[in-house]
Structure 1
Amino acid sequence: MTKNNTGKIVKRTIIILSLLVIPFFFVAESATPNFDYISVPDTLKTISPDAKHTIEAQLVTTVLTRYHYNRVPLNDSLSALIFNKFINQLDGGKNYFLKSDIDEFSKYKFELDDFLANSNINFFFDVFNVYLKRVSERMDYINKLLEREFDYSYDEYFVIKRDSVDWPKDENEMNDDWRKRIKNDALLYKLNGKDWDFIKSTIQKRYKNITKYLFQYNSEDVFQLAINAFAETIDPHTNYFSPITSDNFKIDMSLSLEGIGARLQVEDDFTKIVEIIPGGPADKSKQLKADDKIIAVAQGEDGEFEDVIGWRVNDVVKLIRGEKGTVVRLLVIPAGSDLNAKPKEVKLVRDKVKLEDQAAKSNLLEIENNGQKFKIGVITIPKFYSDFEAQRNGEDGKSTTKDVRRLISELEQNNIDGLIIDLRNDGGGSLTEAVELTGLFIKDGPVVQVRNSSNNIEINKDPDPSIVYNGPLAVMVNRFSASASEIFAAAIQDYQRGIIIGENTYGKGTVQNLIDLNMFTNRKNMRLGQVKLTVAKFYRINGKTTQRLGVKPDIELPSYFLPEEFGESSEPSALPSDEINKLNYEKYSDIQKLLPELIKKHNERTINDPDFQYLIDQIKEYRESKNQTMVSLNEAVRRKQKEADEERKFQRENELRKKKGLKLLDKGEVPDEKSDSNDYILNESAKILSDYILLTVG
C-alpha cells in the first residue's frame, strides 16, 4: 500500500505454468470428437534481452538495494535465494527441468549478485530458453501418450506434492512422471462419466492452449520474471512492473470492478479467486468465495465452456469481463475440495460495482441471551475508502469515517445495546480513514506508528477529541482482514475499547510506494517499467507490529487457513516482526480480565451448535485434503473413494438441515446456497457481545 493507501493484499506477479495435478471435469461434450495434436514451433525461438534491459536492470538494482526499507545487500546469500526463486517461478512442480539442467544452472547460483551488479541478465534468458525446449519435449510426449487409452487396473500412485520429489534424473524418469500425470487427468474425467474420445480431445486441447500461451512470451515477459525473482526475494510486496504490465495495472485499477466483481490470481495453473468485491455480482450471488478455483468459462446461457487451466490471468479476465447485463458462466472447484470433488457451475450477470455498493452498511440484529433480548447494531466495512478527488476539489466527498458516523447515529435511534464493526474480508484502504475511524470510539491519543528505512517514526493520532460511540463494542476480523483493517482492530484491542472476534488477521504491516523508472532517464524513445517498493512498517501503539503476526483475536473462531499456508507469515521473504518503543495511552477497560468467562460461555454455546460443528467438520476435511501427498491411479480404488466422499458430504449436509428445520436434499440435489445462507459467525459474535454486556452492565 502507498503511504495514504494501505492497498490490497493481492500480489500481482506473472506465474509460469507448473501443471500440478488438478481435477478437471468440464467442457461441453461435442457430438463429433475433434482430435487436435498439440503443436509446437518447428524451430524453437530463442528469447534474448532487449538493449534497454541493461539500463533497466541497473536502475532496478540501484532502487532495490538503496531505497528498500531493509537496504538488503546484494551478495552471495541473496544470489542463492534469487536463483531458487527464478527456478521455482518456471518449474516449481519439477515437471520440466532434468536434474542435469539444474546441476548446470547451479554453477551460477552464487554469481547472480555479480551479474546483476553489472547489469548482466543473460543467465535468466538462457535458463528460460532451456525451459521452452523442455516444455516442447513434454508436449510431444503427451501426443504419444494419448494415442491409446490408459489401463486403470494397475495399483500405482501419482505424487501430487511435488516438493517431496527430486528433479527427474533422466528422460525415462520424466516420461514416467508425465505418464502418471496425464493418466490421473484422464481418470478424473472417467470417474465423472466421460468416454475416451472426450477425454483425449479435451486433454489435447488443454495442453495445446498452455503451449500456445507460453510460446507467446517475449523478451519483456522474461525480463519481468527475472527482475521479480530478485525483487520478491527481498520482500513479497516489492515488485517490478514492465511497461505493458503497468498499463494493465492502471486499467485493472479503473475497470477491476466491472464484470463479476472478483480479483483473480494464477496459482499452480489455477485461476484462483483471491478477493470478492463487496456489492458485485459474485458477492451478491453468495456462490463464490476466496480460494475458489475457476477452471472453465462459458458465455451466455448455453455457450460451451472453455478450459482455462494454465492460462495467463489477464486472458482469463478477458473471458470473464463483458458488457453489463450479459451472462457469464463459470465452472468452479470450491475452496477446500479434494481431488475427486465435482466442480459446480455458477451463473452470473455481469455488472459494474458502484462506489455505494462498497460503502459501509448497517443492519440491526435482535437476539436473545440468558432470557434477555438485545438489539445489536452491525456496521460492515468492505474497505477503508475516501474520495480524495472530491477533497482535492474542495468538495465534501464520501469516506468511511463520515459514513460510519452517520450509521452509528441511525442505529442509536433504535436504542442499540451494543455495536459490531465487521471487518471480515476488508483488505485495507486509506490509512487516514483507519486512524479517523478509530477516533470515533476513543477520546484522543495515538493510533498507529510508522517507521521508515531511516528509523524515523511518525505517530498518527486521533484528530478529533470527541467520542461518537462509547457503548459496548466488538470488532469482527478474519484471515482476509489486512493492513488498514489491522491498524483499526489493533488500536481497539490495545485501548481495550472493544472485543476482537474471529480469525487471526493477514499480517501485512508494510507500506509500499510506486516508483516510475522513466524519471531516472531522459531517453524519450525508451519506455521503462515501474517498481513497487516497500518503504516503511506499521507498529501498534504497544510497540509491537502487525507484520507477519497480524492481530490475534481476543476470542478466536475456527479457520480454514493456517498461518504457514496463507497470509504474510506464509511468505518466506516477508519482513520480520519486531518491536519498537511503546507509546503512552490510557486503556478504556480491562477486557482481558473478562475473557476466560466470555470464552467459556462461547464454548458452551457452540459445542452443540450445528452450524459450528458443520464448519469444524469442513475444516477437518479441508486439512486432510491439503495433506494428501499422492493419489491412486487404480479406477476401482478412486471410484470407491469418490462415492464415499460424496455420501459423507450428502449425509453431513442433510444432518445439518434436519437440525435447522430445513428441507432435506434428495440424492444429487444441489443446495440453494443463497437462500440457505446464515451468517452464524455474525450471530455468535452478537451473542459474545451480549455476554460482555451482561457481565459489565447487567
Structure 2
Amino acid sequence: MMMLRKFKIVLPLFFVASLFISSQTNANTDPNPKDKVLLTILKYVLTQGHYHPQTIDDTFSENVYNSFLERLDPSKRYFLQSDIDEFSNYKMQIDDQINNEDLSFFFLVYERLTQRIEESKPYYKQILENQFDFNNDDIFDVDYEKSSYAKNTSEITNIWHKQLKFTTLSRLNDKIIAEEDKKKEDETYQTKSFNELEKEAREAVIINMDESFERIEELTYSDWFSIFINSISEEFDPHTTYFDPVVKKRFDISMAGKLEGIGARLQKKNDYTKVSELISGGPAWKQGELEVGDYITKVAQGDGEPIDIVGMRLDDAIEYIKGKKGTEVRLTLKKMDGTTKVISIIRDVVELEETFVKSSVVKKDGRTFGVINLPKFYIDFDEKNFRSSSTDMAQEIERLKNENVEGLVIDLRNNGGGSLKTAIEISGLFIEKGPIVQVKYRDKNPDVKKDTDPKIQWDKPLVVLVNELSASASEIFAAAMQDYGRAVIIGGRQTYGKGTVQSVLDLNRYHNLKEDIGALKMTIQKFYRINGGSTQLEGVHSDIMLPDRYTYMNIGERDLENPLKFDKVPKATYKLWDNYENFNQAIDNSKKRIATNNYFKLIDQNAKWLKNSQDDTLIYLNYEAYKKDLEVHENESLKYKSLRDYTSNLTYTSPLYEQPLLEKDEDLAEKREAWHKNLKKDMYVEEALNVLSELKIKPQYHLVKN
C-alpha cells in the first residue's frame, strides 16, 4: 500500500549546487561521479524522510557490511577467508565512508569479486569432466549461514564440487524417473544405464553453468553498485528499496499491471528462489498449484530442458520465469514438505475481473448464508465506469440481502491489501460511524481516519476469515471489526503483520546532473489500530485460531530482514458495537469443535512436520540415500492425503442476479463451478459458517433500530 500525498522532502538549493560542484571536482579521479551524488542524496533522504531513520554509526556499518557480502556471495563460493579478513578492516568504517562520499570499501569488494569470479570459471568444467561417485556417504548442508569461507583454493573447489554434485544428482534422479516412466508405458523400451544418465546430467549442468557465467558477465557496474546501495537502504527496513533507472522502469510497468508472467512475487532465501506472494487474478493464482513458501529450483520453457536456478541471482531467475503472454513455463518446485513437484503455468497478464468481489449463497441446516470473497482492496480512478471494492461490496451485500441471507462470511485469506480508502469505506458498511484506523507520520500525532456515513449496510452476524497472508488493508479491516466487536475473526495464528506505508520518490529532483540516478521506495507512515496497537509484526490475532500449514513457520513481516518494530499510540475514541447476544459463547463452542476435530488435528500434525522439513537443510549426496530421503518425504506426505480428499455436505450456488450471466458466459460459469467445488472442500469456510450460524443478535438491537 502506498501513499504519495503530504510527503515532500525539500533540499536547499545550495545543497544541490554543492553536489553538482562536488561531482565536477571529482570527475577526473572518479569514473562515476554520480555514485557519490547518489550516496549523499540517499543518506539525506533516508535520514530526513524515513519513518524510523537509523543512526548511521558503527552498528549500522557492521550490518551493511554483513548484508553486502551475503548478497554478493550467498553460497560462499567466491570469496576466500583472506578476502574477508581484508574486508573486515572496513567493518566499522562504512558509516564514515557514507558521510564522506568515500566508496573505497565498495570498490575493493567489487574488484575482488570480479577477480574471484574470473578465477572460478575453470572450476566447474574441471569438476564436471569426471564422473561423480554417488556411492560414498557425502552430505551437503545448504544452510550457508552456518558454513565458513574457504581458506584456500583447495577448499573452495571442494565447495564447488559439493554444489555441482548436488545439482547433477537432482538432474540424474529426474532422468532415472523419466526412464522408468518410459519403461512402464512401453515394456520393449531399452532404458539407459546409470552411467549414461549420469553423463547426460553432467553435460546438462555444464550447459547451465556456461549460461550462468554468461549472465554474470552481462551484469554492469551499475548492477553491482545497486546491490551496495540496497544494502544501505534496506538496513532502514525491508520495504525501503533503491531502484536504479532500469529497475524503476520495470517497477512502473508492474504497478500499471501490464507485466506479463506468472503473477508471483519472489524473494531470495539462502540459495533458493522462494515464492513470497501470489498476485490475485494472476496465472499462478488461477492455476492453483504454486503456493507461498514453495522454492523454485528449475525453470523450463515449454518442453525445453530445465535450467537450474539454485544459487542464481534473483533478478536472473526472474528473467527465466517471466515471459510473453500465452507461453508455457514449467517450474520444478521443492514443496514445504520436502517433496518435488513439476507444474506448468501459461503466462498471462493479471485478470482484473478475478480480483473483484464475488459471492456465493450457501444452505446450512435449512438456513441461508452468504460467503463474500474479496481478493484485493481495489480502486481504479482512471476508468470512465469507475469501480472500487467498497462500492462492489455494498452492492453485493444488497443483493444477498434480497435473498434473505442470515449472516455473512467475508473471506480475506491471501488478500495482500490495496487501497486504504476502500478498507475504511468497507469497514463503514458494518458500523454506524466512527474511527477505523490511525495513520501516523514520523514525529507527528496519529491522524484518525473515520467512517462518517451513519448508514449500516449490514447489521446481522458477521465472520471475517483471514490467514497468515492477509496483509495491510486486510489487517486494517479485520482489526477494526475486531476492535468494535463487530465480527468474529477466524483463521491462522495471526495475519501478515505489515503495518507500514511506502512512497516512491524520484531522486532526480535533487541534483543537476544530466544522468538518471533512479528512485527510492521508502517507508513514510505506519498504521495503528483504533485500540492503539500497531498491526506491524503482530498483525491481527484471530479470535478463533484454526491450525493450517503455516502455523509453525515464519511467514510474514517478521520473517523479513530489519522490519520496523511493534509499538503503540493512544487509543482512539470509539464505541463498541456490543449487539451480539452470545459472542464469547460462539467463540468457545468453536474452539471446542476444533480441539476434537480429527481433520484439524491432522492439519496441526502436518504443520509441525512441514516446519521440521523446512528446518532440515542436509542433502544426501549418496544416490541411494538421496532417493530414500525423497521416498520418506513422499510416503510421509501420504499420511495427510485425507485432507485433500475432504468434502463437506454444504451446497454453494451463485446468487440469483448472477445466474443469467452464467448462462451467457461459459468462462464465468466454469470459474464459478470451480470456486464452489473448492468451497465445498474448504473446512475453514465450513467452520466459519458454523460460528456464523450460532451468532445471535440481541433482540433489543432490532427493537431500537426499528
TM range (shorter): 0.7 to 0.9
Aligned residue for 1:59, secondary structure, equals: helix
Q: Deviations over 1:206-227 (max 9, x none)?
A: 2222222222221211221111
**Aligned-pair RMSD on alpha carbons?**
2.9
What does residue 403 of structure 1 align with? 392
Matched, 1:378 2:375: no
Q: What does residue range 28-67 of structure 1 map to in structure 2 within 5 Å? A: 50-67=32-49
Residue 691 of structure 1, aligned match among 679, 687, 694: 694
Matched, 1:637 2:625: yes
Residue 352 of structure 2, aligned match among 340, 350, 355: 355
AA of the residue aligned to 1:357: E
Residue 232 of structure 2, aligned match among 230, 233, 238: 230
Following the alignment from structure 1 to structure 2, what is the Cα–Cα distance between the partners of residues 691 and 186? 57
Deviation at 1:602, TM superposition (A): 4.1
Q: Deviations over 1:387-418 (max 9, x none)?
A: 1224xxxx561011100000001111121121
Tell whether the 8 Å contact from 1:4 to 1:430 is kept in structure 2 after alignment. Answer: no
Tell whether the 8 Å contact from 1:139 to 1:207 is kept in structure 2 after alignment. Answer: no
Q: TM-score, normalised by structure 2?
A: 0.83
Following the alignment from structure 1 to structure 2, what is the Cα–Cα distance between the partners of residues 516 and 545? 29
Aligned residue for 2:414, secondary structure, equals: coil
Structure 1 residues 571 and 303, CA gap change in structure 2 (3 angstroms)? closer
What does residue 682 of structure 1 align with? 685
Following the alignment from structure 2 to structure 1, what is the Cα–Cα distance between the partners of residues 111 and 90? 16
What does residue 23 of structure 1 align with? none
Q: TM-score, normalised by structure 1?
A: 0.83
Matched, 1:114 2:107: no
Tell whether the 8 Å contact from 1:554 to 1:595 is kept in structure 2 after alignment. Answer: no
Following the alignment from structure 2 to structure 1, what is the Cα–Cα distance between the partners of residues 456 and 119? 68
Residue 64 of structure 2, aligned match among 76, 82, 86: 82
Tell whether the 8 Å contact from 2:461 to 2:697 is kept in structure 1 after alignment. Answer: no
Following the alignment from structure 2 to structure 1, what is the Cα–Cα distance between the partners of residues 421 and 523? 19
Deviation at 1:90, TM superposition (A): 1.4
Structure 1 residues 453 and 675, CA gap change in structure 2 (3 angstroms)? closer
What does residue 330 of structure 1 align with? 330
Tell whether the 8 Å contact from 2:532 to 2:572 is kept in structure 1 after alignment. Answer: yes
467-476 vs 327-336, which deviates more? 327-336
Q: What does residue range 295-310 of structure 1 map to in structure 2 within 5 Å? A: 295-300=297-302, 302-310=303-311
Q: Deviations over 1:453-484 (max 9, x none)?
A: 12232110002111100111111111111111
Tell whether the 8 Å contact from 1:563 to 1:569 is kept in structure 2 after alignment. Answer: no
Residue 197 of structure 1, aligned match among 196, 199, 205: 199
Tell whether the 8 Å contact from 2:580 to 2:696 is kept in structure 1 after alignment. Answer: no
Deviation at 1:639, TM superposition (A): 2.6
Tell whether the 8 Å contact from 2:497 to 2:558 is kept in structure 1 after alignment. Answer: yes
Residue 508 of structure 2, aligned match among 518, 532, 541: 518
AA of the residue aligned to 1:3: M
Name stretches of at least 5 consecutive residues in structure 1 with no aligned partner.
6-47, 662-672
What does residue 30 of structure 1 align with? none
Structure 1 residues 322 and 510, CA gap change in structure 2 (3 angstroms)? closer
Aligned residue for 2:218, secondary structure, equals: coil
Aligned residue for 1:191, secondary structure, equals: helix
Following the alignment from structure 1 to structure 2, what is the Cα–Cα distance between the partners of residues 398 and 627? 45
AA of the residue aligned to 2:628: K
What does residue 382 of structure 2 align with? 389
What does residue 590 of structure 2 align with? 601
AA of the residue aligned to 1:103: D
Residue 402 of structure 2, aligned match among 409, 413, 437: 413
Aligned residue for 1:273, secondary structure, equals: strand
Aligned residue for 2:409, secondary structure, equals: strand
Following the alignment from structure 1 to structure 2, what is the Cα–Cα distance between the partners of residues 135 and 660? 57
Matched, 1:283 2:272: no
Deviation at 1:308, TM superposition (A): 4.2
Tell whether the 8 Å contact from 2:579 to 2:698 is kept in structure 1 after alignment. Answer: no
What does residue 45 of structure 1 align with? none
Structure 1 residues 2 and 152, CA gap change in structure 2 (3 angstroms)? same
AA of the residue aligned to 2:558: S
Following the alignment from structure 1 to structure 2, what is the Cα–Cα distance between the partners of residues 495 and 622? 36
What does residue 446 of structure 2 align with? 457
Following the alignment from structure 1 to structure 2, what is the Cα–Cα distance between the partners of residues 684 and 464? 32
Structure 1 residues 488 and 132, CA gap change in structure 2 (3 angstroms)? same
Tell whether the 8 Å contact from 1:64 to 1:71 is kept in structure 2 after alignment. Answer: yes
Matched, 1:175 2:157: yes
Deviation at 1:385, TM superposition (A): 1.1
Structure 1 residues 621 and 247, CA gap change in structure 2 (3 angstroms)? same
Aligned residue for 2:329, secondary structure, equals: strand
Following the alignment from structure 2 to structure 1, what is the Cα–Cα distance between the partners of residues 675 and 372? 21
Report the number of matched residues.
Answer: 629
Deviation at 1:317, TM superposition (A): 4.7
Matched, 1:579 2:579: no
AA of the residue aligned to 2:287: S
Following the alignment from structure 1 to structure 2, what is the Cα–Cα distance between the partners of residues 330 and 408? 40
Deviation at 1:118, TM superposition (A): 1.3
Structure 1 residues 451 and 563, CA gap change in structure 2 (3 angstroms)? farther
Aligned residue for 2:133, secondary structure, equals: coil
Structure (1 or 2) with the greater helix fraction: 2
Following the alignment from structure 2 to structure 1, what is the Cα–Cα distance between the partners of residues 132 and 321? 34
Q: Deviations over 1:35-79 (max 9, x none)?
A: xxxxxxxxxxxxx86221111111111111122112322211211
Q: What does residue range 175-574 of structure 1 map to in structure 2 within 5 Å? A: 175-194=157-176, 195-256=197-258, 258-300=260-302, 302-314=303-315, 316-324=317-325, 326-338=326-338, 341-346=339-344, 348-368=345-365, 373-390=366-383, 397-503=386-492, 504-523=494-513, 525-561=514-550, 565-574=554-563
AA of the residue aligned to 1:512: Q
Deviation at 1:184, TM superposition (A): 2.4
Q: Deviations over 1:567-622 (max 9, x none)?
A: 11223411111111111111112879844663443443564444x34533432331
AA of the residue aligned to 2:242: Y
98-107 vs 261-270, which deviates more? 261-270
Deviation at 1:565, TM superposition (A): 2.4
Structure 1 residues 236 and 321, CA gap change in structure 2 (3 angstroms)? closer
Aligned residue for 1:204, secondary structure, equals: helix
Deviation at 1:197, TM superposition (A): 1.7
**Seq. identity, %:** 36
Structure 1 residues 557 and 381, CA gap change in structure 2 (3 angstroms)? same
Deviation at 1:638, TM superposition (A): 2.6
AA of the residue aligned to 2:149: W
Tell whether the 8 Å contact from 2:337 to 2:637 is kept in structure 1 after alignment. Answer: no
Tell whether the 8 Å contact from 1:436 to 1:463 is kept in structure 2 after alignment. Answer: no
Following the alignment from structure 1 to structure 2, what is the Cα–Cα distance between the partners of residues 609 and 694? 31
Structure 1 residues 319 and 227, CA gap change in structure 2 (3 angstroms)? closer
Deviation at 1:676, TM superposition (A): 8.0
Following the alignment from structure 1 to structure 2, what is the Cα–Cα distance between the partners of residues 204 and 489? 52
Tell whether the 8 Å contact from 2:531 to 2:571 is kept in structure 1 after alignment. Answer: yes
Aligned residue for 2:234, secondary structure, equals: helix
Following the alignment from structure 1 to structure 2, what is the Cα–Cα distance between the partners of residues 2 and 615? 36
Q: Deviations over 1:310-363 (max 9, x none)?
A: 555555555555554x3403123153031xx332232x3444333222111111
Following the alignment from structure 1 to structure 2, what is the Cα–Cα distance between the partners of residues 443 and 695? 17
Structure 1 residues 433 and 694, CA gap change in structure 2 (3 angstroms)? closer
What does residue 28 of structure 1 align with? none
Structure 1 residues 660 and 182, CA gap change in structure 2 (3 angstroms)? farther
Structure 1 residues 459 and 133, CA gap change in structure 2 (3 angstroms)? same
Following the alignment from structure 1 to structure 2, what is the Cα–Cα distance between the partners of residues 334 and 317? 17
Name stretches of at least 5 consecutive residues in structure 2 with no aligned partner.
6-29, 177-196, 650-673, 702-706
Structure 1 residues 660 and 549, CA gap change in structure 2 (3 angstroms)? closer
Tell whether the 8 Å contact from 2:460 to 2:697 is kept in structure 1 after alignment. Answer: no
Tell whether the 8 Å contact from 1:263 to 1:273 is kept in structure 2 after alignment. Answer: yes
Tell whether the 8 Å contact from 2:581 to 2:697 is kept in structure 1 after alignment. Answer: no
